[in-house]
Structure 1
Amino acid sequence: MKKTFVVIFSLLLLSCQKTENELPLLLNYIPKDISVIIKVNDLQDFKSSIRNNGFIKKLDGSVLKADLNDFLSPLEHLDTKKELLFCFSEVGAGNFEYTLISRKTADLFKLDSISDRKIESLPYEGGTIQKISLKDATAYSTELNEVVIFSSSRLIIENSIRQSKLKGREGDLTLSKVYETSGNDVSATIIIKNSGFSSLFGELFPDKDFDIIEDLATWSALDILAGQDEITFNGIALSGDQASTLLPLFDRNSPETNRTPFITPVNAKGFVSFTYSDWELLYQNINTYNNKVITKDKNKALFDASNEVGIIYHGDEKSVAVHYTNIEAARTELENERTKVDEYRQTPIYRFSNFKVLASVYAPLIKNSASNFYTILDDFLVFSDKSENLKVIIANYQSKSTLGNSPTYKEYTKDLNDASTILIAGINPEFRELLSQGIKKEYAKDLNALNTKEYPHFAMQLVSDNGFTHINGLIKKVKQQSLAGSISQLLNISLDADILTKAQFVTNHRSKQKEIVVQDVENNLYLISNKGKILWKKKLDSPIQGDIQQVDLYRNGRLQLAFVTDDQFQILDRNGNEVEPFPLKMDKKITQPLAVFDYDKNQNYRFVICQGSDIKMYDRLGSIVGGFTFTKTTGQISNTPKHIRENGKDYLVFTEDNGKLHILDRRGNTRVKVNETIDFSGNPVFLYNSTFTTTDNQGSLIQVDKSGKIAKQSLGLRNNHKIDATIKTLASISENILSIKNQKVELDFGFYTSPKIFYINDKIYVAITDTQAKKIYLYDSNALIIENFPVYGISAIDMADIDNDRKLEFVVQGDKNVILVYKIN
């Protein structure tokens, strides 16, 4: 289990009043010698975030990704909306086992679908241990006081049973404080025991020294937010009563603005910056930490006016930069060290005789940093063991080719605080290379192959404040300036099962932006934000028929989702909860998608449901509308009833499989009598050029006027043709010929979806997808293809301005279980 844990943790870093000794409930059941706790607040969101994060997706096919999947495997058979602890503890030297702890729920474990499972009950000291065998894995569980404990180690379960019988167990107060500060509105929080860092990561990074991390604090907690294009982490670090940790070095010292980025070359591997408002206080704390008695120290005066020290990593070398609020005092102290050995770009480089000064003054923050040479650049005093390193820094500083001046770094760090006690930043791919030099060989290959151009940096900052140290960090995609007309992929979202229905946009009534709804083959309905976050997943009884409609049932601006399945009429609120009195269970199979009529645009909805030859109309309270008299047809209803309004009159239009066309009024009476039967092609009826328009199986355009007279026009369409129409635009596809307003486009032969007309921002677009060639085509109203199309996709699209920036996005199925969202720039 050890390797599995360190992989996920590396990727994520790269993604009530209580009595004094009382622990939060679940913490009472954590194993002894715990090293890491992952507090999961939303299990579904946690798994989805990792699965859909763009940075992690870049590892597809790698050993790292395979081990990540191994890490997630214990969670696949769990289903809970309650808090869950995923713990790792050392059982024997270098052997890490996992433990899952959660409140008991009825359906916590989903094991019914596993045919070869085996469960045994083992008595132990008055309790019961369940031994669960699943394929090649064995795990153990027990239940204690409505808390379920599940572990890969029987010993851990046995210890849990014994510990539960002990009274007055005193908890780790520092752990408790860290735990209580973790957020409940994030998918997961990672809580680390710093002293166990080397044990955990020694296998992954056998050549690395983690002293600074282990010495930093006693416990650290990071709230993880893994979005589609970024991983952010926010939390705290606490030292408790341990004087041996580094954080107390900065007690009563305020963080300062970090200036090290402005002297770090853009091609460096990265830097670490420490700031302080009071050098004297820092110096006292350092000497206390090192058990040294403060004496008169000439080196101390050299740094009196400093407020920051930074380590710059470039090549295989490193340099140290000290920033001053007033560098003149340092110049004076250096008068006896002015042995000029070189000059580069009119900047002197001096030899420094006391080359151990940095380690003697700043240890343990800086260790083993030789300072054979130094130079002065404005308010910086820069040391290095080689003069060539200083020349690189001088050249980049003078040309402003530094990290702090880099547009991508500015964009990357704009969400971080301006001032940090500790700021760590890396530059990809240089940092990736640095990691791969010390990482286990099987992972080094994966890291070196990783394309990090879209993720040029990573950053983490620690800010000391009143006994707490706040941690902020991120790995995010920095988007390049898009060319007008270019098409960029915004989202790549993997669902838990293959996709069943066409993905479509719906409106978030709070933000007025768009979100995505889609159903998978296991009949789970998803609502997904326009940032790629799966907001919820709800199991339905059967597939949704047709598109989902949005309604404002309570007339208060809040929108609900309305649809039908095989035998239910369902309305859900924006959180996926059923709206009373729905769902309505139907007595017979529903045979057409839901039709929603809002005659006067006053939310007095009429919902029309078809069941073979039966037609029923419901009001917004779920009651049958008594005034609608049309209830049955002679044949099977072959299209979803449609409401058409023109010149103040309402028309309810639908067809039968026997060729009858019905055009009714609101009450179900015939408004336009159509005497002839039509050999319908199966396409819907549209209002086009003020006529009720569809096609027949002979490829003719059928138009019915308000008197019921039928006009036919041969279009030469073949069987299985498809059409879409608006008041003035007609589009059709027949074999490989796309027609838009009588303009024809010859496409490659393939299997095409129905053309779909979109009218957005006063412009008409026609979209069609070749599901065989997996190409999406988009045309304007003159049948001219939009620049940079076709693009990849395997389904019909939905298109909208999802974030109100006047630029269009469209959603499409990209693979069996993948949703893609593109942006037209």
Structure 2
Amino acid sequence: MKKILILILLLLTAIVAMAYFYFSALNADKKNSDGSLYAISQHAALVLCFQNDKSITDILGDQPILQQVLGSDKYNELKSIGNMLIQSQAAVQAVDKQNIYIGLIPEKKNLTFLYVTQINSESNLTQVISELGGKINVTLEKDRYKLNLSDTLTCYLTLRENLLFLSPSSAVLNQALSRTLEKDNPFGAYIRSTSRISKNSLAEVHINFNQLPAVLKSTMPGNLSGELAVLNHMDAYTSLIYNYSAEKLLLNGSTQVNGRDSYYALYRHVPQKVTITNILPENTANYIVYTILQYGRWREELNKWLTGTSKGKTALDLTAQISEKYHLDLEQTFPRYFTNQLITFQLSTSEKLGAIALSNGEKLGQLLLDLSAEHSDDIRIFKESDLLFSFFGEPFRNFRRPYYTIVDNYLIFANYASTVQVFLNNYRNNRLLINRPNYLAAINQLPNSSSIMFYSDLDNSSRIILRNIYLPYFKHLRQESMKDFNAFIWQMSGENGKYQTNVLMTKKAPADSLSQNSLALTP
């Protein structure tokens, strides 16, 4: 899950920044255009929509933060397309009073964009092309027009019924035109039901997690395995509204988990205050924290989830087997002394750890003596595999027989004893993330209660990101789009079966930005 959100970070911020630059010159009032909505939702994992209103495009265009996210090269490229469009009054009138939809499309080791909007019935595409042809090189290729904006920038434009399609990739256009327009696809219906585009909403971002694996595979080598494997079956949608700010990138909205068999559906409860993050080392690269309202009721749902997984069936039998083997009632261990928070986190060195909050760590430690063996004075190792997975599920799947320690009513564990020792050294010397001003400045901008929250320190995560995405994307992140940002947060809070969702990226203080940029590409 951590790697998933690190990669979404790149994709999400890039598509948000597209809003103004492609259609900056098109200014009009909103008009429903369900045809273009359903067309884009059939193809894209991430969809951006914004209202074609001058008051909105002016605000977006005045935000330097968008240029920082996008990078100077792409910014100038997109601005060229915007300038091209305003050279045709017929083009401006053709999409007058329509919404603009921009979709992120995978293409081998590349990501490209598809732009769809609905044109007015009285508009004439031939006139649009004629006007553009007087300014740029326009050629007709079968069922589309090739627009040569410069020696290195080419776009393709075509019309299907009353829908206008535009993309820098002819192959993407082929793909879009080859599919039958279905007005009942679930993602399109979701966007239609959640969209609130108005003059009070600058732009919206919609994410289809069912199609996201194909997008991620274009940015990284190999298949979605390990922590990323969950994305292969993650049936969920997210809808976010972009908020104006010169100092941060902030989106608010909601997430809908469609599959009842999803592990993340277990957290659709009232959010709880997060405090377990106070123990994290200062070199924490990322973490994901979960809160539980009432463990007993939550455990019943967890057991239902476990019965639906092959490994889960074994985990359900594990507690009975261990109880018989050690003559110990396991229900008197974690179920009795766990409070309401669990976390997995990763250090800048890639070491992975987990932790749970306890009501009485000393009592639990005594009960676990028979289930564990001593490694050192402070560290022990579980004798049996999958114990933590059987009580808490997916986050602890890869901690099969970990080493652990208990300090200040927290049980902290890792797959290597040296990793636990690193944690103890940091904790005892007060080298903690909570002491870093940048971290506090970021985390204090969101509510301190949540059901699930992901955090990434963008500097501490550099080496991890480098190992998980292709080098060109990494260079773009560190040299351009992310160089002035220090944190990324994805927060979800359960409410009425859905999740209220906040996505935040915060900027570094000027001094921090200067000191870190020289190390931006250190592998």
TM-score, normalised to structure 2, is 0.72
2:455 is equivalent to residue 425 of structure 1: yes
Q: Shift of residue 388 of structure 1?
A: 2.6
- CA spacing shift, 1:13–1:229, aligned 2, 3 Å: farther
- CA spacing shift, 1:421–1:71, aligned 2, 3 Å: farther
Specify the alignment match of 1:177 in structure 2: 190
TM-score, normalised to structure 1, is 0.48
2:442 is equivalent to residue 412 of structure 1: yes
Q: Distance in 1 between matches of 2:476 and 2:105?
A: 27
Which structure shows the higher strand fraction? Answer: 1
Q: Distance in 1 between matches of 2:383 and 2:279?
A: 24
Specify the alignment match of 1:248 in structure 2: 265
Identity of aligned residues (%): 15
Per-residue CA deviations over 1:218-274 (Å, capped at 9, x if unaligned) read: 22222233633211122222123x3343332224x3322222321111112121111
Equivalent residues of 2:99, 2:118 under 8 A apart: yes
2:39 is equivalent to residue 9 of structure 1: no
Q: Give the alignment of 1:562-581 within 5 angstroms.
A: none
Per-residue CA deviations over 1:527-574 (Å, capped at 9, x if unaligned) read: xxxxxxxxxxxxxxxxxxxxxxxxxxxxxxxxxxxxxxxxxxxxxxxx
Q: 491, 516, 521: which one pairs with 1:461? A: 491
- CA spacing shift, 1:473–1:280, aligned 2, 3 Å: same
Q: Shift of residue 473 of structure 1?
A: 1.8
Q: Shift of residue 154 of structure 1?
A: 5.0
Q: Distance in 1 between matches of 2:10 and 2:77?
A: 10
Q: Distance in 1 between matches of 2:407 and 2:112?
A: 49
Equivalent residues of 2:48, 2:205 under 8 A apart: yes
2:252 is equivalent to residue 222 of structure 1: no
Q: Distance in 1 between matches of 2:202 and 2:300?
A: 41
Q: Give the alignment of 1:163-174 within 5 angstroms.
A: 163=181, 171-173=184-186
Q: Distance in 1 between matches of 2:497 and 2:400?
A: 33
3-state SS in 2 of match to 1:195: coil
Equivalent residues of 1:458, 1:474 under 8 A apart: yes
3-state SS in 2 of match to 1:204: coil
Q: Shift of residue 98 of structure 1?
A: 1.5
Write the letter of the residue equivalent to 1:227: S
Write the letter of the residue equivalent to 2:263: L
2:334 is equivalent to residue 303 of structure 1: yes
Q: Give the alignment of 1:359-758 within 5 angstroms.
A: 359-449=389-479, 455-479=485-509
Equivalent residues of 1:454, 1:478 under 8 A apart: yes
Bigger mean CA offset, 379-388 vs 297-306: 297-306
2:50 is equivalent to residue 32 of structure 1: no
3-state SS in 1 of match to 2:215: helix
Specify the alignment match of 2:302 in structure 1: 286
Q: Shift of residue 434 of structure 1?
A: 1.5
Q: 355, 373, 397: which one pairs with 1:321? A: 355
Q: Give the alignment of 1:83-162 within 5 angstroms.
A: 83-88=99-104, 98-104=114-120, 112=132, 115-118=135-138, 131-135=145-149, 137-142=154-159, 144=161, 148-150=164-166, 152=170, 153=172, 155=174, 158-159=177-178
Equivalent residues of 1:220, 1:237 under 8 A apart: yes
Q: Give the alignment of 1:249-268 within 5 angstroms.
A: 249-251=266-268, 253-268=269-284
Equivalent residues of 2:239, 2:255 under 8 A apart: yes
Equivalent residues of 2:35, 2:118 under 8 A apart: no
2:47 is equivalent to residue 66 of structure 1: no
Per-residue CA deviations over 1:272-298 (Å, capped at 9, x if unaligned) read: 111111223333333333325655545
Q: Shift of residue 312 of structure 1?
A: 1.6
Per-residue CA deviations over 1:85-106 (Å, capped at 9, x if unaligned) read: 1134569999866241235396
3-state SS in 2 of match to 1:416: coil
3-state SS in 1 of match to 2:45: strand
Which structure shows the higher helix fraction? Answer: 2
- CA spacing shift, 1:72–1:237, aligned 2, 3 Å: farther
3-state SS in 2 of match to 1:430: coil
- CA spacing shift, 1:83–1:446, aligned 2, 3 Å: closer
Q: Distance in 2 between matches of 1:366 and 1:51?
A: 45
Equivalent residues of 1:8, 1:68 under 8 A apart: no
Q: 207, 213, 237: which one pairs with 1:198? A: 213
Q: Distance in 1 between matches of 2:109 and 2:220?
A: 17
Specify the alignment match of 1:755 in structure 2: none
2:362 is equivalent to residue 335 of structure 1: no
Write the letter of the residue equivalent to 2:138: K
Equivalent residues of 2:67, 2:75 under 8 A apart: no
Q: Shift of residue 377 of structure 1?
A: 1.5
Q: Distance in 2 between matches of 1:395 and 1:112?
A: 66
Q: Distance in 1 between matches of 2:106 and 2:185?
A: 18
Write the letter of the residue equivalent to 1:142: L
3-state SS in 2 of match to 1:456: strand
Q: Shift of residue 174 of structure 1?
A: 5.5
Equivalent residues of 2:279, 2:432 under 8 A apart: yes
Equivalent residues of 1:31, 1:156 under 8 A apart: no
Per-residue CA deviations over 1:659-678 (Å, capped at 9, x if unaligned) read: xxxxxxxxxxxxxxxxxxxx
Q: Shift of residue 306 of structure 1?
A: 3.3
Equivalent residues of 2:70, 2:480 under 8 A apart: yes
Specify the alignment match of 2:51 in structure 1: 41
Per-residue CA deviations over 1:677-734 (Å, capped at 9, x if unaligned) read: xxxxxxxxxxxxxxxxxxxxxxxxxxxxxxxxxxxxxxxxxxxxxxxxxxxxxxxxxx
Equivalent residues of 1:307, 1:325 under 8 A apart: no
Specify the alignment match of 2:3 in structure 1: none
Q: Shift of residue 387 of structure 1?
A: 2.6
- CA spacing shift, 1:403–1:52, aligned 2, 3 Å: same
Q: Shift of residue 310 of structure 1?
A: 0.6
2:249 is equivalent to residue 234 of structure 1: no
Specify the alignment match of 1:57 in structure 2: 68
3-state SS in 1 of match to 2:420: helix
Q: Distance in 2 between matches of 1:467 and 1:351?
A: 38
- CA spacing shift, 1:263–1:216, aligned 2, 3 Å: farther
Write the letter of the residue equivalent to 2:148: L
Per-residue CA deviations over 1:576-596 (Å, capped at 9, x if unaligned) read: xxxxxxxxxxxxxxxxxxxxx
Equivalent residues of 2:477, 2:483 under 8 A apart: no
- CA spacing shift, 1:43–1:373, aligned 2, 3 Å: farther
3-state SS in 2 of match to 1:277: coil
- CA spacing shift, 1:107–1:33, aligned 2, 3 Å: closer
Q: Distance in 1 between matches of 2:374 and 2:266?
A: 35
Q: Which one has more relative contact order, counting CA pairs under 8 Å at least 6 apart?
A: 2
Q: Distance in 2 between matches of 1:217 and 1:265?
A: 33
Q: Shift of residue 379 of structure 1?
A: 2.1
